[in-house]
Amino acid sequence: MTRPPSGNGPIPPGGRPPHPGQRPVPPPPPGYGQRPGYPQQPGPGQSGYPQQQPGRQPAPGYGRPPGYGQPSGYPQQPGQAPRQGFPPPAYGQQPGYRASGQVPRQPAYRPPMPPPPAYAQAGAPPPVRPAPPRRGRWASILVILILVISTFLVRAAVRTGLNAFGSGDSVQTTYAPTPGGESAGVAATVDNPLLAGEDLTLVPANCKYTPWSTEVGTARTFFETAATCLSNAWKPVFDEINLPFEAPKVNVSADTNGITTLCTGNSSNFAAFYCSADQTIYMPISQLQTDLFKNDWVVYLSVFAHEYGHHVQAQSGILGKVHQQRRDAGTRSDTGLELSRRTELQANCFDGMYLASSKGGGALTTAQIGVARTDSYHRGDSAGDMRDHGTSQNGGAWFELGFDKNRTAQCNTFSASGKQVS
Interface residues with Zn ion (CB under 5 A) are 173-175, 344, 347
Q: How far is the CB of 86 from Zn ion (least distance, A)?
A: 25
Residue with smaller CB distance to Zn ion, 90 or 154: 90
Residue with smaller CB distance to Zn ion, 175 or 300: 175
Residue nearest to Zn ion (CB): 173
**What is the rounded CA–CA span in Å between residue 1 and residue 29?**
42
* Dihedral Cα 220, 221, 223, 225, nearest 10 deg: 160
Residue with smaller CB distance to Zn ion, 157 or 307: 307
Q: How far is the CB of 12 from Zn ion (least distance, A)?
A: 27
**What is the rounded CA–CA span in Å between residue 227 and residue 412?**
23
Cβ neighbors of 300 (< 8 A, separation 6 or more) are 212, 219, 222, 223, 283, 288, 290, 293
Residue with smaller CB distance to Zn ion, 79 or 309: 309
Residue with smaller CB distance to Zn ion, 347 or 372: 347
Supply φ then ψ for residue 398, to 5 degrees.
Answer: -70, -35
Residue with smaller CB distance to Zn ion, 212 or 304: 304
Q: How far is the CB of 227 from Zn ion (least distance, A)?
A: 16
Q: Distances in Å between the alpha carbon of 129 and those of 137, 188, 264?
A: 15, 38, 32
Q: How far is the CB of 125 from Zn ion (least distance, A)?
A: 30
Q: How far is the CB of 117 from Zn ion (least distance, A)?
A: 18
Q: Distances in Å between the alpha carbon of 78 and those of 83, 84, 164, 166?
A: 12, 16, 13, 11
Residue with smaller CB distance to Zn ion, 173 or 286: 173
Q: How far is the CB of 182 from Zn ion (least distance, A)?
A: 16
- Biggest distance spanned by C-alpha atoms of the chain: 80
Angle at 98 between CA 69 and CA 116, to 5 degrees: 35
Residue with smaller CB distance to Zn ion, 79 or 398: 398
Q: How far is the CB of 223 from Zn ion (least distance, A)?
A: 16
Q: How far is the CB of 11 from Zn ion (least distance, A)?
A: 22
Neighbouring-strand partners of residue 60: none
